[in-house]
Structure 1
């Protein structure tokens, strides 16, 4: 029979008791307690050595003794204190929640954030201006500061191969010299002058030769869609007022190796954009019966005016028939 766990006199310390866990002595000790009966002899091993208690020895422990006894008391005290604290907090909350008239407790303010004021969407705002739409009947060259009329059946160029602001006839046809190239019967371009010449007359005469070669001679890709230029005839070479500026006009008729040939015209004048640099407006019309006539060339030239000018034509003198 084994000795049950308990406090027993420590054989090595007469006035001290040590805890026996039922198997071995532990490190817990305390001052000797009054047993109120026959003294309990300390457990001894064989020969009176310090060892396990004898089987017949039964300790007498006062109430509340044993390991953890004082700890249990502390836990109970803390639990009671916690209950009292919770009750006090609840009572205070009820008292603070109502007013002296006995009305119901006020609810706590909401913690939800106040929504930000709505911001008007510029796209839906009544004061937002719609994007400006480009006039389908007018070509605007903002770089050089001019506008010109777009004839019926003509469109703005979208190809990156075109120089400057360009319009041309909507329909294409197989170029007369064959190959895979497609040609158009009419085109007009507005571009800054690339010549170093100082006068509008010199710029116009130099530019028309270069432009005629590009359209009816050999183009920038090395193609000769009209079979090249065989000859040309000067139809006009004169001073010409454009968009309130003194300019110069040159018109040629060219004969090509294939097809009907055509008409080429250059008008050079100072840009109305304020830089004073010379610019040119170029024209190239096929001479075929189905192509736009020279009267269309004249109408487009007469429609040139500064950007923002709504008075009508910007040309100071008209162009007579070629």
Structure 2
């Protein structure tokens, strides 16, 4: 918002080296050479005619026919009395714009009356969409084998390894129990993975068939220090063997039902398939499920196999 200045001499917007008479509404044709600066004239309320401000102090007097101003001492005294009031609010700027034709447009002097607006931005505050909650303690419902570039779904009743000394463990059933041979602690289910070596075979079928006996012995015959927590394996039965699609790749599985000297025994499966990372070397995933009511559902083997994904997919 601005206030229209009172009548007086101002810098001529079309000839800055001269002063021109502003009658309070519009510019007149009266011009003169600038005089020594005098005290500014107090503003008169009213809307601006054009919207600009003078750049020189206001000078008193009215124009004569010859363009000179009157110099009556009374007028000078009256104008000087308002100098203090006007000093704080008068600003002088001549705004010269260009009309549509490219010529300069004369604008009237104005007085700025609106205080500056503080446009400092408010402190950054996160929006509801930016405020992320803490991730679940167990993270996403998958486990990842970074070395072989695969993930498996973490099914209900299964957890990531806790206090497990065996290598290559991806997940176990939750909790432990006293092993049937009355020493140590056993788990009802385990899933491991490892990269197949050249000695394991050249195809998923050969790898799975060569691995199943090793997997059964490690799970139900002897532990890492040579003990037999289940009293040893007495027999086994092939429950299934054949091709299977794993993460869109051709694999092979072999599943045994193992009978032990003590306890209900269990199921062991070796699954071999090529991965989609690195050189594509085959990976072997082993499933170990205790038999009996306390063991995990046998259907979880198939659910886990169907849920395997490559980290590159």
TM-score (normalizing by structure 1)? 0.53
Q: CA RMSD in A?
A: 2.5
Q: 2:276 aligns with which of 264, 272, 279?
A: 272
Q: 1:184 aligns with which of 168, 183, 187?
A: 187
C-alpha change, 1:132 and 1:186, in structure 2 (3 Å) is closer
Q: 2: CA distance between counterparts of 1:228 and 1:211?
A: 13
Contact 2:157 2:174 (8 Å CA) reproduced: yes
1:158 positional shift: 3.8
1:161 positional shift: 2.3
Contact 2:169 2:190 (8 Å CA) reproduced: no
1:194 positional shift: 4.1
C-alpha change, 1:183 and 1:133, in structure 2 (3 Å) is closer
Q: 1: CA distance between counterparts of 2:135 and 2:176?
A: 32
2:302 maps to 1:298: yes
Contact 1:155 1:167 (8 Å CA) reproduced: yes
Report the secondary structure of 1:223's partner residue: coil
Report the secondary structure of 2:230's partner residue: coil
2:262 maps to 1:258: yes
C-alpha change, 1:165 and 1:275, in structure 2 (3 Å) is farther
Q: 1: CA distance between counterparts of 2:178 and 2:207?
A: 32
Q: 2: CA distance between counterparts of 1:186 and 1:160?
A: 13
Q: 1: CA distance between counterparts of 2:222 and 2:142?
A: 30
Report the secondary structure of 2:295's partner residue: coil
Give deviations 1:69-117, integer Å, cap 9, x for gaps: xxxxxxxxxxxxxxxxxxxxxxxxxxxxxxxxxxxxxxxxxxxxxxxxx
Give deviations 1:258-302, integer Å, cap 9, x for gaps: 000000001101122131211111100001112111111111111
Contact 1:195 1:207 (8 Å CA) reproduced: no
TM-score (normalizing by structure 2)? 0.54
Report the secondary structure of 2:228's partner residue: coil
2:221 maps to 1:221: no
Q: 2: CA distance between counterparts of 1:257 and 1:194?
A: 32
C-alpha change, 1:132 and 1:270, in structure 2 (3 Å) is farther
Give deviations 1:21-48, integer Å, cap 9, x for gaps: xxxxxxxxxxxxxxxxxxxxxxxxxxxx
Say how many residue pairs are matched. 184
Please list every run of at least 4 consecutive aligned residues from structure 1 whose deviation after the TM superposition is greater than 6 angstroms. 130-134
Q: 2: CA distance between counterparts of 1:257 and 1:133?
A: 40
Q: 2: CA distance between counterparts of 1:139 and 1:294?
A: 20
Q: 1: CA distance between counterparts of 2:280 and 2:149?
A: 11
Give deviations 1:195-228, integer Å, cap 9, x for gaps: 6111111110111110110110012210101111
C-alpha change, 1:132 and 1:255, in structure 2 (3 Å) is closer
What residue is the counterpart of 2:234 in the other structure?
230
Report the secondary structure of 2:219's partner residue: helix
Give deviations 1:234-272, integer Å, cap 9, x for gaps: 011101111121111000000000000000001101122
1:133 positional shift: 8.4
Return 5+ residue gaps in structure 1 as ranges: 1-125, 310-322
1:135 positional shift: 3.2
Contact 2:259 2:266 (8 Å CA) reproduced: yes
